[in-house]
């Protein structure tokens, strides 16, 4: 087959379209009719990042995948070191020590950690004797995820930590025992229930469910039923109590507020609910076709905070309407589907896991970011991939894209 045709033009096109839409909307979000220099400044920085990104993508096409496989552990270590180094050399921005400042540019090592973890996991699972069903092997995978996650939580940057932990989905897709997912879902359910209705009703619910389960299994004349049900019940109760404890004592008020707003327990459109309210107003007021480019009143008035970064999607919603939002959503879904499709065409576990990792990161970012701006998910500060203003995120995704394109290119080998 022609080498040229083996290249993933579909993914690249989707990538470029999303980046392009991102640039157009960033311009609108920062545009000030009285001072166009501001917007120009933003655009310049973003274009420089994009230029570097393109160069990286281009260069990666000449590096054999085996190189990444071989040096994955070293890249992972470098990444961990860069996260640790933040304590010594990091710059604190709005409460989180997550940035290195070099010259006029800031770099966020945790963005690159995502690539490193994806590579490391791929290498770990692609190992000669690795079987994900084994305790030793999945424990190893958990450790790879946990170390950078813990380091980012400590910055504190819980958003990125959640993204890093979402590699769990890749492990599940790779065949991690299903009980882990059930436990995760169960814990998630208990978590929400506890926050929504309080500790005591949740404990009662656990008790009643346990009783039902016991009765059901006794009726089917199964043996040894009491002990596991009791164990699960007690663990559930313990989790509920600890959630309540953590929520009240470990979480800061702003985190609590975010959850309360989302669960509808608190309505405060001037205070903590301001972001979520304004971003919904911006998107909702776009209606079908939007207010037109540079015509968004919410955007012009700067009512949505952080609009060029985490809330860039509100500009799309306001100025391009449902047409724009569904286009962007559709492009993201197509890109992710394309990547997953590529993953399962790979012959090596390493390539497959890496692609799944890339898809997983995209999915988590898109799901949480869009979920946040439309009011389905609590405010978690993570950017919208490829579109949000910010060099590190764009560069990290460019690296992902570069390696991915090379993987696609090499799939025949």
Among 100, 374, 409, 410, binds other proteins (CB under 8 A): 374
Size of the site for other proteins (CB under 8 A): 50
Decide if residue 357 touches other proteins (CB under 8 A): no
Altogether, the residues listed in the chain come to a count of 413
* Among positions 175, 198, 207, 228, the unique one binding other proteins when judged by CB under 8 A: 175
What mask, x for binding other proteins by CB under 8 A, covers residues 88 to 127? ----------------------------------------
Q: What are phi and psi of 201, to 5 degrees?
A: -60, -35
C-alpha span between 130 and 118 (Å, rounded): 16
Judged by DSSP in three states, 296 sits in: coil
Does 36 participate in binding other proteins (rule CB under 8 A)? no
* C-beta separation of 377 from 262 below 8 A: yes
In the complex, the smallest distance separating the C-beta of residue 224 from other proteins, rounded to whole angstroms, is 29
Q: Which is nearer to other proteins, 52 or 184 (CB)?
A: 184
Interface with other proteins (CB under 8 A), residue from 371, 378, 381, 410: 371
Contact 344, 352 (CB under 8 A): yes
Q: Is 348 a residue that touches other proteins (CB under 8 A)?
A: no
Name the token pair of 102: 């070099």
Q: Check residue 326 for interaction with other proteins (CB under 8 A).
A: yes
370 near other proteins, rule: CB under 8 A: yes
Name the residue nearer to other proteins (CB basis): 156 or 284: 284
**Structure tokens belonging to residue 36:** 């166009």
**How far, in Å, CA of 355 to CA of 119, rounded?**
9
Kind and range of the H or E run holding 100: strand 96-102
Binding of residue 325 to other proteins (CB under 8 A): yes
Among 233, 321, 385, 391, interactor with other proteins by CB under 8 A? 321
**Residues in contact with other proteins, shown as a per-residue x/- string from 223 to 262 under the rule CB under 8 A:** ----------------------------------------
- Catalogue the E-assigned strands of 171-315: none
Among 146, 153, 173, 213, binds other proteins (CB under 8 A): 173
Residue 47: its H or E element: helix 36-60
The residue assigned the tokens 């920062």 is: 30
**Can you tell me which of 111, 137, 157, 174 binds other proteins, judged by CB under 8 A?**
174
Compute how many other C-beta atoms are within 10 angstroms of the C-beta atom of residue 362. Answer: 20
**Cα gap 391→181, rounded to integer Å:** 34
Among 169, 206, 262, 395, binds other proteins (CB under 8 A): 169
Positions in 269-308 near other proteins (CB under 8 A): 278, 280-288, 295, 297-298, 300-303
Binding-site member from 14, 19, 115, 360 for other proteins (CB under 8 A): 360
Q: Is 385 helix (H, G, I), strand (E, B) or coil?
A: coil
The yes or no reply on residue 39 touching other proteins (CB under 8 A) is no
Residues with Cβ within 8 Å of residue 131, at least 6 apart in sequence: 137
Member of 113, 161, 363, 380 binding other proteins (CB under 8 A): 363
| Interacting span for other proteins (CB under 8 A) from 75-83, 99-107, 138-146, 359-367 | 359-367
The per-residue b/e assignment along 223-262, b for 16 or more CB within 10 angstroms, e otherwise, is eebeeebeebbeebbebbeebbeebeeeeeeeebbbbbbb
Closest Cα partner for 301 from 32, 36, 39, 43? Answer: 32
Q: Which of 289, 403, 308, 269 is nearest to 25 (CA)?
A: 308
Q: Which chain residues interact with other proteins by CB under 8 A?
A: 32-34, 169, 172-175, 278, 280-288, 295, 297-298, 300-303, 317-318, 321-322, 325-326, 329, 332-333, 336-337, 340, 343-344, 356, 359-360, 363, 366-367, 370-371, 374-376
């Amino acid at each position: 087959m022609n080498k040229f045709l083996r290249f993933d033009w579909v993914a690249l096109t989707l990538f470029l379209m999303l980046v392009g839409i991102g640039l157009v909307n960033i311009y609108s979000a920062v545009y000030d009719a009285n001072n166009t220099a501001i917007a120009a400044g933003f655009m310049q920085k973003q274009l420089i990042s994009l230029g570097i990104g393109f160069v990286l993508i281009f260069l990666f096409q000449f590096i054999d995948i085996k190189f990444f496989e071989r040096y994955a552990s070293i890249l992972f270590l470098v990444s961990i070191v860069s996260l640790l180094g933040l304590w010594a050399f990091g710059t604190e921005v709005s409460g989180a020590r997550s940035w290195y400042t070099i010259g006029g540019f800031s770099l966020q090592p945790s963005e690159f950690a995502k690539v490193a973890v994806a590579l490391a996991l791929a290498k770990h699972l692609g190992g000669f004797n690795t079987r994900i069903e084994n305790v030793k092997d999945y424990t190893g995978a958990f450790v790879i995820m946990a170390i950078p996650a813990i380091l980012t939580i400590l910055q504190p940057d819980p958003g990125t930590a959640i993204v890093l932990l979402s590699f769990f989905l890749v492990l599940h897709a790779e065949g991690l025992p299903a009980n882990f997912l059930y436990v995760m879902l169960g814990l998630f359910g208990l978590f929400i229930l506890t926050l929504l209705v309080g500790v005591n009703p949740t404990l009662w619910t656990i008790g009643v469910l346990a009783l039902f389960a016991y009765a059901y299994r006794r009726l089917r004349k199964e043996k040894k039923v009491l002990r596991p049900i009791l164990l699960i019940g007690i663990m559930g109760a313990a989790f509920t109590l600890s959630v309540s404890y953590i929520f009240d004592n470990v979480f800061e008020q702003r985190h609590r507020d975010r959850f309360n707003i989302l669960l509808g327990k608190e309505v405060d459109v001037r205070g903590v609910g301001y972001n979520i309210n304004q971003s919904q107003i911006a998107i909702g007021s776009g209606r079908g076709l939007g207010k037109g480019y540079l015509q968004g009143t919410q955007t012009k008035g700067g009512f949505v905070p952080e609009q060029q970064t985490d809330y860039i999607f509100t500009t799309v919603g306001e100025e391009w309407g449902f047409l724009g939002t569904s286009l962007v959503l559709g492009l993201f879904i197509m890109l992710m589907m394309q990547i997953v499709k590529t993953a399962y065409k790979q012959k090596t576990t390493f390539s497959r896991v890496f692609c799944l990792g890339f898809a997983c990161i995209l999915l988590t970012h898109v799901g949480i970011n869009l979920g946040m701006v439309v009011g389905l998910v609590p405010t978690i500060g993570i950017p919208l991939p490829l579109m949000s203003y910010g060099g590190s995120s764009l560069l990290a995704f460019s690296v992902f894209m570069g390696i991915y394109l090379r993987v696609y290119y090499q799939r025949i080998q």
